[in-house]
Structure 1
Amino acid sequence: MSRLAFRAAAAVIGVALLAVYLTAALFVADLLRAAWAARPDLPVLLALLAAGALGSAYLSYRLGTAQILANLEGDRVPRKRAPDLHRRIDSLAARMAVARPDLYVTDARAPNAFAVGGGSDGGALVIDRSLFRLLSPREIEAILAHELAHLEGNDGFAIAMADGVGRALVGVATVVALPALLALSGLAAASAWIRGRPGDRSGPFARLHRGLAGALFGGFVLATLVSRSRSRRREFAADDRAAEVTGDPAALARALRRIERATEPTWPFAPFSTHRRTDEPAERWLSTHPSTDERVERLREMAESQGPTRRIPAGPSRATVGRGRSRR
């Protein structure tokens, strides 16, 4: 095919692509205009949008909680099978504004504990069996208090709702911007074909498309960062509450260090494993938990303010306690 013929064919393809994309953009824009024309009064519309966002977040939270409990590789533990553990939980719950949670023990062979649910139904407390071999009774009690603090503050629900509302707002913005995204995508593709460079996406329309898409993605990232930041703050608050209830911040600090060390990868290729963590800022911002170093340092200061106490071991920073809570 001669160059002239190729340019002519490419121009035809470009015009056809432009027509398809603009038709789709106009169709979506007409749907949005029709929906806007049929809208109720602005206060009612805002109330409906808020109710939809909150309802979607609540449904996601409830379904996620039920799925976590259904997928547990463990069983609900009745009182007669672990009377001492139940008594500890009863004692802690009595000292805290929290309903008595159900107790589950798993066999994941990874030292971890997390709380799901909360509110009037009490929620559930999940403990891996390996913790009982790893931690002392005082350290177990500190971990229990930390997780009960999450239930007391209904942290899983609050974080899930905030995350759901943020994602809903980004979703609404994406729908509103969809006609512009389609039109810019069509203009970018058509421009490239007409210029005889089908794979070239360096033109002004392509840059505008990337800018708009990047702004929407940035909104999604911002909503995620806000949710993760709140989650990290709630971890600190749960540490403080556990230290207050047990009167032994050093026990929680020791428990965090022991869990950290037990979860460190030790096989030769550990630096390349999926469990590897770095000190990159992006990783810290996206983490649901603050580093163990930060948490232990705060607990150390609390312990020192209370007077002489047992030594808190030092170690590298990793956070594990309550990690499963982010799925609630």
Structure 2
Amino acid sequence: MPHMPRSFMPTDQAVADLRRRHKIANVLQSLLLLGGMVLLLALCGMILAGVEGVLWALLGGAISLLFSPRLSPRMVLGMFGARRLTYAEAPVLFDALAAIARRAELPAVPELWYVASPALNAFAVGSRRRSAIAVTDGLLRALSLRELAGVLAHEVSHVRNNDLTVMGLADTVTSLTRLMSVFGMALLILNLPLLMMRQEAVPWLLVLLLIAAPWIGVLLQLALSRTREFDADLDAAHLTGDPEGVASALARIERLQHSPWEGLRFPGRRRAQNIPSLLRTHPETEERVRRLMALRTPPPVLPGLDAHPLHAHPLHARPHLAMPAAVRRPRYRIGGYWY
């Protein structure tokens, strides 16, 4: 990570002001994107059935959210072959997670789960009251304690900000938009002979809108996902008091994932830098690191981790793990390689 001279580092007040501006911008952008997705759904409903179509579209979305299946965190983690970690296997991680959860004011500390995969990944499932964070073996062995604290804080931020619920809502709206688009195109095809017999003009503008609506919805959903990632980075830096640690974790994961050895292990994986920015679920790492480093103030500390202060450990120290390294080979599934 680049080192910034102490004289050029921003003051605590400047960092607080910068964080506040970033936070407001992220919230406003999320509201605009989510509002745009709902507006797109309502527009599809209006094309199909006028004002009643708008009401039916919004009602369908509300019913879908109300009766959508609520999978427990354990069931979701079971799909990834994860198992719950014990305190004896990684005590410093448990202490760090508990301290971060306290600072985030979560009603319950997320459970810590382990995926026996050499891939570098971490994800959160559940809600504020009942959540879990899964980390892969590769991530635990590649990052330092300070970097792992940043990753845990990032996932805790997703839980605290209800990002899982927000992205679930976005997915429901996108799915309904796609469904209404298909339904509208089917109605148009069935009515084409009647339009031709009556020599009526085909509403090509509405046709193009119905065709483009699902793709526009997906792009808005991806943009929303990137905004929520920026927000989670921002909150992770605040929860740990160490934006450089969070930035270092992101940079190390990016570097290891794009190494030549990683390309040999995952021959079917598409390189992230070849994906256009609009089609990314996560922002570009360089931009995330830049924003985090702008929040850096000396000295980096982890407030609230008094029982096990991670900053007391060497920067590159790895956590002690009471399990063998994972050697499971990837299996190809729909969507790519996974373990």
**Global fold match (TM > 0.5):** yes
Matched residues, number: 250
Matched, 1:111 2:120: yes
Q: Distance between the aligned counterparts of 1:290 and 1:298, measured in 2?
A: 11
Secondary structure of the structure 2 residue equivalent to 1:302? coil
Q: Distance between the aligned counterparts of 2:229 and 2:110, measured in 1?
A: 19
Contact 2:222–2:278 at 8 Å: present in 1 too? yes
Distance verdict in 2 for CA 1:64–1:226, change over 3 Å: farther
Which one of the candidate residues 289, 297, 316 is aligned to 2:282?
A: 289
Distance verdict in 2 for CA 1:55–1:124, change over 3 Å: farther
Contact 1:54–1:164 at 8 Å: present in 2 too? no
1:177-326 equivalence runs, <5 A: 177-184=185-192, 214-266=208-260, 273-278=268-273, 283-303=276-296, 306-307=297-298
The unaligned stretches of length 5 or more in structure 1 are 1-35, 191-203, 310-328
Secondary structure of the structure 2 residue equivalent to 1:238? helix
The residue aligned with 2:174 is: 166
The residue aligned with 2:141 is: 133
The residue aligned with 1:155 is: 163
Letter in 2 for 1:238: A
Q: Distance between the aligned counterparts of 1:185 and 1:269, measured in 2?
A: 53
Q: Distance between the aligned counterparts of 2:139 and 2:263, measured in 1?
A: 26
After TM superposition, give the deviation of residue 265 of structure 1 in Å: 4.8
After TM superposition, give the deviation of residue 171 of structure 1 in Å: 2.2
Q: Distance between the aligned counterparts of 1:217 and 1:80, measured in 2?
A: 55
Q: Distance between the aligned counterparts of 2:149 and 2:295, measured in 1?
A: 17
Q: Distance between the aligned counterparts of 1:88 and 1:74, measured in 2?
A: 20
**Normalised TM-score (structure 1):** 0.65
Aligned CA-pair RMSD: 3.7
Distance verdict in 2 for CA 1:274–1:216, change over 3 Å: farther
The residue aligned with 1:120 is: 129
Letter in 2 for 1:288: T
Distance verdict in 2 for CA 1:71–1:145, change over 3 Å: same
Contact 1:265–1:275 at 8 Å: present in 2 too? no
Letter in 1 for 2:119: A
Q: Distance between the aligned counterparts of 1:272 and 1:89, measured in 2?
A: 34
The residue aligned with 2:303 is: none
User: Cα deviations across residues 37-65 of structure 1 (Å, max 9, x unaligned)?
Assistant: xxxx969x93x653432342465563496
After TM superposition, give the deviation of residue 172 of structure 1 in Å: 2.9
User: Cα deviations across residues 12-55 of structure 1 (Å, max 9, x unaligned)?
Assistant: xxxxxxxxxxxxxxxxxxxxxxxx8xxxx969x93x65343234
- Who wins on radius of gyration, i.e. which is larger? 1
The unaligned stretches of length 5 or more in structure 2 are 1-48, 301-339
After TM superposition, give the deviation of residue 97 of structure 1 in Å: 2.8
After TM superposition, give the deviation of residue 67 of structure 1 in Å: 5.4
Contact 2:150–2:246 at 8 Å: present in 1 too? yes
Distance verdict in 2 for CA 1:187–1:168, change over 3 Å: same
Distance verdict in 2 for CA 1:185–1:236, change over 3 Å: farther
User: Cα deviations across residues 135-161 of structure 1 (Å, max 9, x unaligned)?
Assistant: 111111111001100000010111111
Secondary structure of the structure 2 residue equivalent to 1:62? coil
1:5-16 equivalence runs, <5 A: none
Q: Distance between the aligned counterparts of 1:72 and 1:301, measured in 2?
A: 36
Q: Distance between the aligned counterparts of 1:216 and 1:236, measured in 2?
A: 31
